Structure 1
Amino acid sequence: MTSSETSSQVSSPAAQDNTTSLLTKVAEKPPLGWNSFDAWDSRVTEEDYRKTVDFMAENLLEHGWEYAVIDYIWWNPEPGAYNTKDSYVRRVGHPNIRLNEDGSMKYPEAVTLDEYGRLQPAPERFPSSAGGKGFKPLADYVHSKGMKFGIHIMRGMHRQAWYLDTPIKGTDKTARDIGKFNDHAGWLNNMFGIDQRNEGAQEFYNAMFEQYAEWGVDYIKADDMMGSCGAPFHSYFAGEIEMMRKAIDNSGRPMVLSLSCGEAPIAHANHLEKNANMWRVSADFWDRWEDLSRSFQLLDKWSPFIGGGTWPDADMIPFGRLSLDDRPHGKERMSKFTTDEKYSLMTLFSMARSPLMIGAELTTTPMEEIKTFFKNDEVLYVNQNSTNNRQIIRVDQETDKKGDKDAYYAAWYAEDPANGDKFIALFNLGSKAKEVGFKFEMEDMRGAYKVRDLWAQKQIGEAEVKFSVELPPHGAGLYRFSRIPGSSEAWVPPTGKRKHNNQ
């Protein structure tokens, strides 16, 4: 059965008509927040998390950064502990679980379940969850700070629920009636998928999201839903996406639904818009120029689907301190992006209106970096409020007229719906400093404009006909163009010579 056939068979009213879905009650603007993965892999603890929430509330919340998300395997007391430097499969610390020959768990204590096979936070890492409280005490703490609480989940049920054949709440069905044995992510062996055609499947997801609503969850990052997911293209699980969407609506609690991993297949763009608030357009994104360079192509491709409460997601921002204790990706380090590359990333993600999710260990990240890249309200305004966002120039691997073989550059355009101002972002994608610009005629801009540098937060002059700046290698600039009242609307040719109206 193809993905499209699956989608047509299980399409729910909520999936087809957004006016009845809680999808429209959240993410009116791209979500801003933090996720634990880039720093802690699967090992974040309640203590780590609370310290981060406190830091965000004190330093970032006033600038719009409101979501704090616990990433994967929060149900395991010590995920990846046996994958040591001396003996590991896949990578050091990877949270695969060890299995018996029949596929059951060798160490069932590595998962925390309730009587209905629903995953629970491990009290060893999240002490406030003890006694069956789940994440509610922690969510309450986040809400007390004026912030929003998020968790990562994997598609399906934990394999231990399948082996125990746990009952499905509210039905006479059990886990083995709906679980697909050995249907797990290409990069993680913890979970089995759900067969949406079987009775009890929707009820299983309903029970999961009922619990999340009781806990006070505001944001769900659902993984293994689409894209490559650690292997050649894995699948697009339309049926399970729709069951999650319907389960959120049935829960009565608005929750952001963010789908991973990527690259998302653009053939399913309309389905994604109907069922999710965010979806990953990239594979896992790290502090490498090649990842950022690839994002220019991906965000260009997805730009027609920006807005309306749904947001193509370029993945987390790998600035600051990453990969603590050499997990999950490379050595523990401060981000390898150069300062200029950081300007390019934040400029591109803002102009493409990607959700912005910081991945760093924030308390040891330099405050100057946090101030520069996460507290510039003029740049964040573009991400949160601009419209008509699109790439207008990109030159890849092409020699310019002067024979420069490093002539890579790009430009993006957007508008301010509040006053008609234009936003222009210019990028030097090459390895040498160069002048990058655009001609006003490309966007039918008439007259003269005041130009404001949004990163520097200052006016830098006026421009007519064209605008250009010198940019360092892999650098970027972001500018607001405000039309000067009374300036001529007559078309001006690129030479700068004014064309008379009678010509």
Structure 2
Amino acid sequence: MNKNSFAKVPPMGWNSYDYYDTTVNEEQVKANADYMAAHLRDFGWEYIVVDIQWYAHKAGSMREQFQYIPFSELEIDEYSRLLPDPERFPSSADGKGFGPLAEYVHSLGLKFGIHIMRGIPRMAAQNHMKIKGSDVTADMAANPSSICPWNPDMYGLYNSPAGQAYYDSLLELYASWGVDFIKCDDICNTCNQSPHRENQYNAAHEVEMLANAIKHCGRPIVFSLSPGPALIDRAWHYEKYANMWRITDDFWDEWKYLKDMFRRCELWQTQVSEGCYPDCDMLPLGWIGKGFGKERMTNFTREEQRTMMTLWCLFGSPLMLGAELTKMDDWTLSLLTNRRVLALLPPSCRPRQICLDEEKAVWIACDEKEGTLYIALFNLGNREASVCASLDEIGKEFHGDVDLTDLWDGTSRRSVNQEISAVLPEHGCAVYQVSM
């Protein structure tokens, strides 16, 4: 799969899930796209991604009982392919699908993406519906023992010509709509499937089938795998067939999840390369949670938000915002548009964690193209503390002290006694460019 030709840096964009859950509609997607084009596009933010259940009628109408309504009505075409719900996405009516919405997003200089569940709709199998390009119907391609325990919409597919024909027809459809990004769910780690607990990557063949369909659809489409945690012993497989893969389950705005991400990033730090990005999941910043009935400003403190952005950028994770962008405050916007911090993202900036314990973490990174050296100090403790690292730990030979430029505020200072240190607030960080 020639994935590296169109994902040279970690994808950056917006995803509807953290704010809207299953309920986002066309007007809301356009409003967030308008905001991104006006305020974020020039800083590298470019993807607008419609997350789960865009095909489900009355999605979210029974949220107190179900996140995903069992056996609900789904919009579907004659070839077993799900279509946008025309009530929420009016421009999709008369078989237009997401074509008009993608065209609108593209007109803003942005890219358009969608969430999909792996497999084929259960209703297609139950009704023996057609598969385009195959004489076999959906019931023969579907594997009834391969199910998602938290979403009732799909069966997995057998590794068969009919299964490949189905995925080929899906990508043909998505390419005709102008889709640039696919987030495929229930595929990166399927450990919750009770019949397959002994094999957490039992859908690996479907990753390959989707990658093959993308390769032949005639359009460059970024391929993202969810949910995590991804399996480090299968890193080679993720890298071969996908562009990004989740290294965690759903990430939310609680410190325990952010602190744990330092361990996860250390595990995956050597796997970041052009077109291949271990994914720390979405950034729960700004206003989130409306679709879950718990609309709130993120629970992360400002120091924790800065720590999260620093780690995601240093590590080289994709950056996907979950906020309602039209409610963005100035401080959060400043967090997302700091060019000095965003410059850490390209895979030429090689990261390495050199210290991690319960109270602190230290990361370094060297940009191979620019020859630029960075160091980040993190206070993981629950009180103000000094965090330091000696120049010897960085792994380069320095003759005397060095200049330090703070990437968050642009101020400069010198190291002292060949040591880089900072007094940091609870859960805070400092990140510097190092120069002689």
TM-score interval for Structure 1 and Structure 2 normalised by the shorter chain: over 0.9
Q: Does 1:467 align with 2:420?
A: yes
Report the equivalent of 1:342: 305
- What is the SS of the residue equivalent to 2:206? helix
User: 1:453–1:477: 8 Å Cα contact kept in structure 2?
Assistant: yes
Q: Does 1:25 align with 2:5?
A: yes
Give, in whole Å, the separation in 1 of the partners of 2:186 and 2:175: 22
- What is the SS of the residue equivalent to 1:383? coil
Report the equivalent of 2:344: 382
User: 1:228–1:283: 8 Å Cα contact kept in structure 2?
Assistant: no
Spell out, residue by residue over 1:101-127, the C-alpha distance to the aligned partner (whole angstroms, 9 max, x if none): xxxxxx5xx200001000100110000
Give the AA of the match of 2:420: F
Report the equivalent of 2:206: 240
- What is the SS of the residue equivalent to 1:357? strand
- What is the SS of the residue equivalent to 1:112? coil
Match of 2:178 among 194, 216, 221: 216
Report the equivalent of 2:389: 438
Give the AA of the match of 1:148: K
- Percent identity (aligned): 40
User: 1:187–1:229: 8 Å Cα contact kept in structure 2?
Assistant: no
User: 2:273–2:347: 8 Å Cα contact kept in structure 1?
Assistant: no
Match of 1:189 among 144, 149, 152: 152
User: 1:257–1:277: 8 Å Cα contact kept in structure 2?
Assistant: yes
- What is the SS of the residue equivalent to 2:8? coil
Give, in whole Å, the separation in 2 of the partners of 1:60 and 1:151: 20
- What is the SS of the residue equivalent to 1:309? coil
Q: Does 1:391 align with 2:337?
A: no
Spell out, residue by residue over 1:354-387, the C-alpha distance to the aligned partner (whole angstroms, 9 max, x if none): 000000111113122212x101011001113652
Report the equivalent of 1:269: 235
- What's the offset of the Cα at 1:460? 2.7
Give the AA of the match of 2:60: G
Match of 2:118 among 150, 155, 169: 155
TM-score (norm 1): 0.83
* Residue correspondence of structure 1 range 166-205 to structure 2 within 5 A: 166-196=129-159, 198-205=160-167
Give, in whole Å, the separation in 1 of the partners of 2:325 and 2:268: 30
Give the AA of the match of 1:179: A
Report the equivalent of 2:67: 94
- What is the SS of the residue equivalent to 1:368? helix
- What's the offset of the Cα at 1:307? 1.1
TM-score (norm 2): 0.95
Report the equivalent of 1:4: none
Structure 2 unpaired stretches of 5+:
none
**Greater C-alpha Rg:** 1
- What is the SS of the residue equivalent to 1:183? strand
Runs of 4+, deviation exceeding 6 Å: none
- What is the SS of the residue equivalent to 2:215? helix
Report the equivalent of 2:25: 45
* Residue correspondence of structure 1 range 131-142 to structure 2 within 5 A: 131-142=94-105
Match of 2:319 among 349, 356, 359: 356
Give the AA of the match of 1:264: A
Give, in whole Å, the separation in 1 of the partners of 2:305 and 2:289: 18
Match of 1:414 among 356, 365, 377: 365
* Residue correspondence of structure 1 range 442-457 to structure 2 within 5 A: 442-445=393-396, 446-447=398-399, 448-457=401-410
- What's the offset of the Cα at 1:416? 2.3
Give, in whole Å, the separation in 1 of the partners of 2:63 and 2:317: 34
Which 10-residue stretch deviates more, 42-51 or 168-177? 168-177
Report the equivalent of 1:3: none
Change (3 A) 1:73 1:298: same
Q: Does 1:312 align with 2:312?
A: no
- What's the offset of the Cα at 1:324? 0.5
Give the AA of the match of 1:29: V
Structure 1 unpaired stretches of 5+:
1-20, 99-106, 397-407, 484-503
RMSD: 1.5
Give, in whole Å, the separation in 2 of the partners of 1:172 and 1:345: 50
